[in-house]
Amino acid sequence: MSDSENPEFAALSDLEEVIKHVSDELASWRRRALKAESERTSLGSDHDVVALKERIVSLEGQNRELERRLEAARSRLQDLLKRLRFLEEQATVAQGQAR
């Protein structure tokens, strides 16, 4: 069996893809947090309370969406880990039978 046909390599590739996606999401959230912090500091003391309330509502909605996406990514990651463990167990069994 070649390396490209080995299911363990496919599972690892899937895992790498999920980890890269989660890392990209985290970087995006960090950029947004830094931008929001910068905007908050630039508001000063004469800011519009209604606009701030609208912004808070918007950010809370975005936060819920990001939490949903993060949970979906966690779920995909857990599924990939389960697949990887299964494949590792199968490889161990196959090695044991080959001996």
Higher-confidence residue of 32 and 3: namely 32
Note the pLDDT tens digit of each residue in 28-84: 999 999 998 887 777 665 667 788 889 999 999 999 999 999 999 999 999 999 999
Q: Which residues of 74-90 are buried (b: 16+ CB within 10 A; e: fewer)?
A: eebbeebeebbeebeee
This prediction has a pTM of 0.47
Which pLDDT value is given to residue 37? 83
Residue extents of the structural domains in the chain: 3-98
Mean pLDDT of the chain: 86
Which pLDDT value is given to residue 26? 92
